[in-house]
A and B are shown apart, each in its own frame.
Chain A
Amino acid sequence: MNELTIFKSSLFLILVLVTVLLNTVCFIVKMTMKGKKVGRFEISDIISVVNMIVHAVIFFGLLLYTVFEPNGSLISEEELLIVMLLSSVLSMLISNTGREDK
């Protein structure tokens, strides 16, 4: 197996790990640094935005690659959907945690 094949076969797992890791960091920061600010912005908000940007960059890139290079795609659309659904579930749960109205 060449390096590209290994990368392709493990990309899905890497993305799952990245998603879980990013959302875990968001959750820990939210729980431990509540109300702490860097300048005008809360740390948890900054981490959330970073999470969103990282996901956007990865997914937009992969999606474009998948659409325009369907034969040589790095990951299937179904796998991309799984990672995005996982990310949605985790981030929804995080945003629900500690809400006043719950």
Chain B
Amino acid sequence: MVFNSIAFLIFFPIVLLLYRVIPVKYRWIMLLAASYYFYCSWQADLLYLILFTTVVSYLCSHGIAKTNDPKKKKLYLIIALVASLSVLFFFKYFNFLSENVVNLLKLFALPVSDFSLKLILPVGISFYTFQTLSYVIDVYRGNIEAEKHFGYYALYVSYFPQLVAGPIERPENLIPQLKTDNKFNVADSTVGLKMMMVGFFKKIVIADQLSKYVNAVYNNLGTDADCANGFTVVLATVLFAVQIYCDFSGYTDIAIGCARCMGIKLMQNFNDPYSATNIKTFWRRWHISLTSWFTDYVYIPLGGSRCSKARHYLNIMIVFLLSGIWHGAAWTFILWGVVHGLYQIIGDITSKPRSAMWKKLNVDEKGPFVTWLRRILTFCLVCFAWIMFRANSISDLGKLISTLFTGWGGLSISASLDSMGLSLTGIIITILSIILLKILDEQIETKAVPTEAGKGLSVERANAYVFVCWAIAIAWLILLRNNEASSFIYFQF
């Protein structure tokens, strides 16, 4: 059951209604049942995995809380980590690893045959695994107390709005809210519905519309429909940057909006990432819950930046390598992570010389010129890395990169646009959608939300939202008619 489906549009109001009707004492039962039903609508046969991870982490956290022996505490922690990570590893990385081991052995002319298991990647496994890990580690560190009520803990792991694609919530934020008697209030509902609307707009009007142009370039390499040249690769990559942002942040907005309608505040996951003036800031604004997870549970325990320069850079590389692997079992994702790690390290090394250069040129480093230059450069670097993220294989990546640098001879822009299926109508829709996206995003980020929450919507603003809803309805109709409605990109992680 994806958010952008009729089934969800029926499911959510029913859950919301039951949430308001059922006494607070029993709400967790309804929410847990709804969350498991939501998960089962994807993969009922893999529900046992989420149950297994939940039970093991619950028991281990209790073991940690009950004992005073540091060795036993550590043992329980290791059991929880091994159990959760081995499930993740087996389903997500086993085939990738076996394939690479076989290829490596073949390089040495050893007699090995291909070996892979028919495994289905469980939806949202990376998200809920990380959520259980953060809980057990926090209990071990003494940051939080172990949750006694199994029902609330199971609900924390499987709470349906953020179950399959985050945000990766922290126990100290979500569990107390699940227990609170969140009474209905207009402000929360207004903000929640508005965020859901913005999320649907991002997904249906922008991401799904752009995906067909991106796919035309990235999915047809080496086929008769191959339309890759320097221009189309650049354009498709820029459009992919917008697509993945709208797809993922759209999902997050809907998730946050759903929870907000129940009075539950999930953490922010995006903060205008493409306005970042360097890669470091980009990662503070993109997938914030994952970045903060890696910071708290990997980067800082490794020593963070409070160590030698070499060690600091190694820590950065480890974190980004893990981030790449987390996204998927493919060399393209690993390369994407490594490139982002290198960006950060190079950015740190060149930071002082760049400042000295601006001083020498007598240009204000914090002025609009340098700020915009940095924004554009950061966006270009991020887009270059997106090529690795989006490429279907390493060989495709090689073709795309070589086309990017060599495929500029004798190309016709109008023919290139035609080959991508991008008509004048498509261009106008894309431009208007992006302008509207910018306005909607700013409204979420500025003071407009609390003001509206306090005073209620003005007639003009309500009018504007009605128009956005119309646009969503029409775009949805187009997708349904052409069978182009798609799942969210981050569901595969």
Contact = CB atoms under 8 A, between A and B. Distances in A.
Interface of A: 26, 30, 42, 44-45, 48-49, 51-52, 55-56, 59, 63, 67, 76-82, 84-89, 91-96, 99-102
A81 B475 contact: yes
B464 A81 contact: no
28 contacts: A44-B459, A45-B459, A48-B460, A49-B459, A51-B463, A52-B463, A52-B467, A56-B470, A63-B474, A77-B474, A77-B477, A77-B478, A77-B481, A80-B474, A82-B428, A84-B471, A87-B470, A88-B464, A91-B464, A92-B436, A92-B440, A92-B464, A93-B439, A95-B461, A95-B463, A95-B464, A96-B443, A99-B451
Given A44-B459, A63-B473, A100-B451, 18 more contacts: A49-B463, A67-B477, A76-B425, A77-B474, A77-B477, A77-B478, A81-B471, A82-B429, A84-B474, A88-B436, A91-B460, A91-B464, A92-B440, A92-B464, A92-B468, A94-B464, A95-B458, A101-B448
B447 interface: yes
Contacts of A56: 466, 470
Contacts of B433: 85
A50 to B, nearest CB: 10
Most B Cβ at <10 Å: residue of A52, A63, A84 = A84
A11 to B, nearest CB: 14
Nearest to B440: A92
Given A44-B460, A89-B435, A95-B461, A84 B467 contact: yes
A38 to B, nearest CB: 14
A81 B446 contact: no
B310 interface: no
A92 B437 CA distance: 11
Contacts of B466: 52, 55-56
B204 to A, nearest CB: 11
A78 B478 contact: yes
A74 to B, nearest CB: 14
Contacts of A89: 432, 435-436, 439
A80 B428 CA distance: 12
A92 B469 CA distance: 13
Given A77-B481, A102-B446, A55 B425 contact: no
Nearest to A27: B460
Contacts of A86: 432
Contacts of B460: 26, 30, 44-45, 48, 91, 94-95
Most B Cβ at <10 Å: residue of A81, A88, A93 = A88
B203 to A, nearest CB: 15
A67 B481 CA distance: 9
Contacts of B461: 95
A101 B432 contact: no
Interface string B217-248: 00000000000000000000000000000000
Contact of A78 (B429, B439, B448, B467): B429
B19 to A, nearest CB: 31
Contacts of A76: 425
Most A Cβ at <10 Å: residue of B426, B458, B466, B474 = B474
Interface in B399-448: 425-426, 428-429, 432-433, 435-436, 439-440, 443, 446-448
B67 to A, nearest CB: 52
A48 B470 contact: no
Contacts of A63: 473-474, 477
A58 to B, nearest CB: 10
Contacts of B474: 59, 63, 77, 80-81, 84
A63 B467 CA distance: 14
A77 B426 CA distance: 12
B439 A92 contact: yes
B475 A48 contact: no
Contacts of B446: 101-102
